[in-house]
Amino acid sequence: MKQMAGHLLVECLIEQGVTHAFGVPGESYLAVLDGFHAYHEKIQFVINRQEGGAAYMADAQGRLTGRPGVCFVTRGPGATNASIGIHTAFQDSAPMVLFVGDVGSDFRDREAFQEVDYNSFFGPSTRGMAKRVERIDDPERIPEYIARAFATAMNGRPGPVVVVLPEDMLVRQVSARPLARVEPVQAWSDPGALRQLREMLLACQRPFVIAGGTGWTPQSAQALQRFAENWKLPVGNAFRFQDIFDNHHPQYAGDVGIGINPKLAQRIRESDLILAIGPRLGEMTTNGYTLLEAPRPQQKLVHMHASAEELNRVYQADLAILSTMNAAARSLEVLTAPVSLPWEAWTQSAHQDYLGNLVPQAMPGDINMPAIVNTISELLPADAVLTNGAGNFASWVHRFHQHHGLASGLRTQLAPTVGSMGYGVPAGIAANLITGRTVFTIAGDGDFLMNGQELATASQHGAKTIIVLLNNGMYGTIRMHQEREFPSHDSGSHLKNPDFAALARAYGYAGVRITRTDEFEAQFKAALARAEGTLIEIMLDPEVITTRGTLSAIRDAALERQQKGV
C-alpha cells in the first residue's frame, strides 16, 4: 500500500528509535508535519520558537541518548538559523541529523525563494559544519538515506548530518518501507598497541589521564574507573566533560580546560606520560595548545579516539589507538598492573590539589557564589542534569559543583565545548522533556537572551527546568578580556537588561530576584517543589568577574604591564 513520502520519513525516524523531534514549522515540509500528526502517539514534534534553539535541543538529545538528535527546519533562514547548533554538534562531536525542507525540484538553481546551496553552506571538510550533506530526490530511497544519516552521525567521531528534503518530493506517493534500526559500529583497540601502552606505563614516573569526548556509556565509564584504580592513575576530565569520571573519587584531579586549577596545569606540564582517552585535545582542553605543545608535546602522548582522521591531526602521538570508548575502556581495564607503582604519592597529591581548589577566594558584594553553588549541589538529586551556555558565569558551577560521574549510570552535564552562547536554556528543556529528570541551568544575562524565548516552548510542552541567571549588566567574558587588553576603557560590552523575573513569568515560569546569599536557599527549595519551571535572577556585583579575581584586579595588572612597557 502506498503512502505519502512525508509519512514514510516519520516512520523511518520511529524505526530508528526517535521519540522527540525538535523544530520550527515551515511550508517546505508540511507533508512531514502531517506525518508527525499521523504518528503522534509514537513520536512528538516539539515546536520551538527559533531554529537555533531547536538545533541546540537536538544536540542535547544526541548527547543524552547516544543516538542522533533530530531537528527540522525550513529552507534558507531556517537552515542558517540552525547552523549554530550544527557547528556546536560538529565541534563537540555530538550525533545529530538536521532535516531541511527545501524548494521544489522544479524551482531549483533559479535562486528561488529562500534557496540556499546546502552543500556549500554546511559542506563537510576538516573545518566544516557537518559530516555529510545529502539531498533526497527519489522518495523511494528515503529509508536508505535515513539509515545512512543515522549511521554516519554515530560512527567514528560522532557529529551532525544534514538531509535536504525538496518540497515536491515529500508529497509523492511511495511504496518503500523503513529499514531496520542502525546501531553504531565498535572499533576495538589493537592488541599490539595495548601491549606497547602497558610498557609505556611501566616506564613512566608521572602519568596523567585526560578523559573526555563523546561515545561514553555507564559501562565504559565504570571500566575506565577500574583501569584507573588498577594502575592508581590520576584522572582529569576534559573541558565540559566533567561527568565522565566521578569527581568524588580519590584519584580525581579536576577538570582540564578554561579556568583550570593552576596546580593542575603545572602537573600536566610536568607529566611524563599523558593518556588522552576520547577527547579531541582541542584549544580549550589544552589551554591554547600550551599544556601540550603542538604538534609534538614535551610529554609522551597516548591518544585514544574513535576517529582515524582525528588521530595525529593536531598532535603527533607517541602511540595512537583507534577505538570507540566502549572498547577502549574495556580493553584498558584488563591490562595487568604491577603490585606496586612509583606514582601513588603523585596521584594522591593531584587529588589534594583538586580538593584545595574547592576552597574559594574572598569576593566583594552581597552574593557569595561558591556558597550558592554548594546549596545547589546539596539540594539537587544525584541524577539531575546540569546545563549551561558560554560565559564566565559557567565557571562557578564548573569549579565548585562535583558530578558523581557517568559510572553511576547517567549523563549529568550538557555544556558546549565550542563556547556557544545560548545553549543552556534549550538544552535543559530538551533534557527534561526526554528524561523527565530534574534539570538545573546556569545562565548569564547576555547568554540567556540568546535563547530565552524557548521558555515558551517549555511551557507549551510541559517541561520544567530551574534557571539561575547571573545578572551583572554586561557581556562578562568580553569585558574581562577588554580589561586585560584595553584597561583604560570599555566598549560594546555594557548591557541594559529587562526585568528577567517578570519576563520569565510572562512565559509561564515562576520568576524571582534575589540580591543576598541568604535569600537563595528558600527560593531554590521552592523551585524544586513547584510544578512549573523557575527562573531565579541573581544580581551579581560586576566586580565578581571570575572565580579567582575581580575586574579591578585584572585592570590594575594590565595597567601595570602597560606602564612597564610589557
Same CATH topology for 191-356 and 369-563: the answer is: yes
Beta bridge pairs of residue 511 = 535
Residue 83 has pLDDT above 90, yes or no: yes
User: Is the omega angle on the peptide bond into residue 295 within 30 degrees of 0, that is, cis?
Assistant: yes
- For the chain, how big is the Rg over CA atoms in Å? 24
SS3 content of the chain, % helix, strand, coil (to 5): 40, 15, 40
Query: Which residues, at least 6 apart from 301, have a Cβ–Cβ distance to it below 8 Å?
Result: 273, 274, 276, 292, 315, 316, 317, 318, 319
Cα gap 238→258, rounded to integer Å:
10
Pick the CATH number of 3-173 from 1.10.10.10, 3.40.50.300, 3.30.420.40, 3.40.50.970: 3.40.50.970
pLDDT of 254:
98
Determine the pLDDT at residue 118. 87
Check: CB of residue 341 under 8 Å from CB of residue 231. Answer: yes
Higher pLDDT, 46 or 122: 46
Which of 169, 171, 163 lies closest to 82 in space, CA to CA? 163
Do 448 and 393 form a contact (C-beta atoms < 8 A)? no
Task: State the cell numbers at 116.
Answer: 540556499
Class of domain 369-563: alpha beta
Predicted confidence (pLDDT) at residue 59 exceeds the cutoff of 80: yes
Closest CA to 125 of 117, 137, 133, 116: 133
Phi-psi category of 484—alpha, beta or left, where left has phi over 0 and alpha has psi -120 to 50? alpha
Residue 126, pLDDT above cutoff 60 = no
Q: Which residue has the higher pLDDT, 116 or 396?
A: 396
| Cα 415 from Cα 239, distance rounded (Å) | 9
Question: What whole-number distance in Å separates Cα of residue 281 and Cα of residue 287?
Answer: 10
Q: How many Cβ atoms sit within 10 Å of the Cβ of residue 499? A: 13
- Give me 3's grid cell: 503512502
Q: Please state, in angstroms and rounded to a whole number, the distance separating the CA atoms of residues 229 and 223.
A: 10
Using an 8 Å Cβ cutoff, are 221 and 209 in contact?
A: no
Residue-level pLDDT at 136: 98
| pLDDT value of residue 123 | 82
What is the number of other CB atoms lying within 10 angstroms of the CB of residue 515? 12
Q: Which parts of 298-431 are beta strand (E)? A: 300-305, 319-322, 385-388, 413-414
Mean pLDDT across the chain? 95
Neighbouring residues of 390: CB distance < 8 A, sequence distance ≥ 6: 416, 419, 420, 421, 423, 447, 477
> Taking a C-beta distance cutoff of 8 angstroms, is the pair 328, 277 a contact?
yes
Residue 71 phi, psi (nearest 5): -135, 140
Q: Specify the CATH superfamily of domain 191-356.
A: TPP-binding domain (3.40.50.1220)
pLDDT value of residue 112: 72
What pLDDT is stored for residue 153 in this prediction?
A: 98
Q: What is the pLDDT of residues 402-433, one digit of tens each?
A: 999 898 899 999 999 999 999 999 999 999 99
Farthest CA pair distance, the chain: 81
Containing H/E element for 211?
A: strand 207-211
The residue ranges of every structural domain in the chain are: 3-173, 191-356, 369-563
So what's the pLDDT on residue 107? 80
Helices first, then strands: H and E counts in the chain: 21, 20
pLDDT of residue 179: 98
pLDDT band at 180 (very low <50, low <70, confident <90, very high): very high
Q: Which of 11-15, 126-130, 131-135 has the lowest mean pLDDT?
A: 126-130
pLDDT band at 322 (very low <50, low <70, confident <90, very high): very high
Least confident of 122-136, 137-151, 445-459: 122-136
* Nearest residue to 231 via CA among 173, 296, 277: 277
Contact 322, 311 (CB under 8 A): yes
Mean pLDDT to the nearest integer, 234-240: 97
Per-residue pLDDT, 125? 59
Q: What angle do CA 248, 254, 256 make, to 5 degrees?
A: 150
Q: What is the mean pLDDT of residues 236-260?
A: 96
Q: Is 277 helix (H, G, I), strand (E, B) or coil?
A: strand
Distance CA 256, CA 399 (A): 11
d(CA 135, CA 152): 15
Q: What pLDDT is recorded for position 317?
A: 97
Residue 114 has pLDDT above 80, yes or no: no
Closest CA to 119 of 109, 404, 110, 256: 109
Query: In the prediction, which pLDDT does 127 show?
Result: 65
Nearest to 85 by CA among 64, 58, 67: 58
The pLDDT tens digits for 269-319 are 999 999 999 999 999 999 999 999 999 999 999 999 999 999 999 999 999
Instruction: State the average pLDDT over residues 455-469.
Output: 98
CB 392 within 8 A of CB 236: no
